Amino acid sequence: MSEAAIIDGKAFAARLRQTIAAEVAALKAEHGLTPGLAVVLVGEDPASQVYVRSKGEQTLEAGMHSETHRLPAETSQAELLALVERLNSDPAVHGVLVQFPVPDHISQAAVVAAISPDKDVDGLTVANAGRLASGLPALTPCTPTGCMMLLRDQLGELSGKRAVVIGRSNLMGKPMAQLLLAADCTVTIAHSRTKDLPAVVREADIVVAAVGRPQMVKADWVRPGAVVIDVGINRIPKDDGKTRLVGDVAFDEVKAVASAITPVPGGVGPMTIACLLANTVLAAKRLNGVGE
């Protein structure tokens, strides 16, 4: 059996951004509509600053309106919620994203609840979880949305495939399962309480690992020919005292068994911001009654 195809999420995301840029250009030309994303950062967390900068840059590169609101760490919850409210009603803004984590004196749940579901391009609100669970048009979380794009690109039709999602977080595992179910997969959700996890994973044509445990999924867990999507991003020590990033899948051994696999880094990761842009375009179209 030959080695797995390595799914190049970086290249896929670059193509997706081009498609989005073309759609944005068409929306401007045909409808006078410029999709806009507002990102709010409270405090000066270094990693958050990097993410927020990337989001702003990629939004601009796609020809969209971008605004970044940098607030001091001592901003009160009321001030933050007031800004979210303003963005909710700003017709130039179609996506509102508050970068998490927020400082401890601010309730993350209160912030999420304040975001208009129609502008909730991170797919975090209870309203969007409910729409997704009910089969209604929703804004879905970016990472599982990106995983679905990679799977469709790799496999074409997903109907009838057996999919196992390892992990059941609200942001990743649960919406991933909903999206796979909507694509007519037979979906199993496994988690820390699952007994004989290797046997459960071996049933799958599609394995999505999203648990945050470095290299947990081994070669003998994977049915030969399965497609493996690795959502984990874990930093582990190297021999030289430095660190490196690995996923939840033991990549080097699983690639000898799977038919296709995402690497870490360079697999699912680059899809997330691209899907954020796609969600913003989708939100802009829905808010303006432009057909999808």
User: Which residues are the active-site residues?
Assistant: 55, 99, 122
Tell me whether residue 244 is annotated as binding.
no
Among 11, 25, 50, 126, binds its own copies (CB under 8 A): 126
In order of 13, 26, 49, 66, 291, the CA distances from 62 in angstroms are 12, 12, 20, 10, 20
Question: Does the footprint of its own copies cover residue 136 (CB under 8 A)?
Answer: yes
Binding of residue 151 to its own copies (CB under 8 A): no
Q: Is 167 annotated as a binding-site member?
A: yes
Query: Crossing angle, helix 142-155 and helix 9-31, to 10 degrees?
Result: 110
The three-state secondary structure class of 270 is: coil
In which residue are the tokens 């290299």 written? 215
Q: How far is the CB of 133 from its own copies (least distance, A)?
A: 4
SS3 for 102? coil
Of 66 and 145, which has the nearer Cβ to its own copies?
145
Q: Please select the residue that binds its own copies; options are 131, 213, 218, 223, rule is CB under 8 A.
A: 131
Decide: is 225 part of the binding site for its own copies (CB under 8 A).
no
Is 286 near its own copies (CB under 8 A)? no
**137 binding its own copies? (CB under 8 A):** no
Binds its own copies by CB under 8 A, chosen from 72, 135, 137, 224: 135
- CA–CA separation, 236 and 245 (whole Å): 6
Nearer to its own copies, 10 or 131 (CB): 131
Instruction: Tell me if 118 contacts its own copies by CB under 8 A.
Output: no
Q: How many CA atoms lie within 13 A of 256 on its CB side?
A: 7
7 is in an annotated binding site: no
* 32 labelled binding-site residue: no
- Chain positions 161 to 200 lying near its own copies, rule: CB under 8 A, are 162, 168, 170, 174, 177-178, 181, 184, 186-191, 193-195, 200
CA distances for 197 relative to 18, 35, 164, 216, angstroms: 39, 43, 10, 11
- Report the C-alpha gap between 134 and 138 in whole angstroms: 9
Query: For residues 128 and 143, which CB has a smaller minimum distance to its own copies in the complex?
Result: 128
Instruction: Decide: is 113 part of the binding site for its own copies (CB under 8 A).
Output: no
Name the helix (H) or strand (E) containing 130: helix 126-133
Q: Which pair of tokens denotes residue 213?
A: 């445990």
**Could you tell me the CA-to-CA distances from 29 to 33, 63, 65 in Å, in that order?**
8, 12, 15
Residues near its own copies (CB under 8 A) are 125-136, 159-160, 162, 168, 170, 174, 177-178, 181, 184, 186-191, 193-195, 200, 203
Q: Which residues are annotated as a binding site for NADP(+)?
A: 167-169, 233
Q: Which residues are annotated as a binding site?
A: 167-169, 233
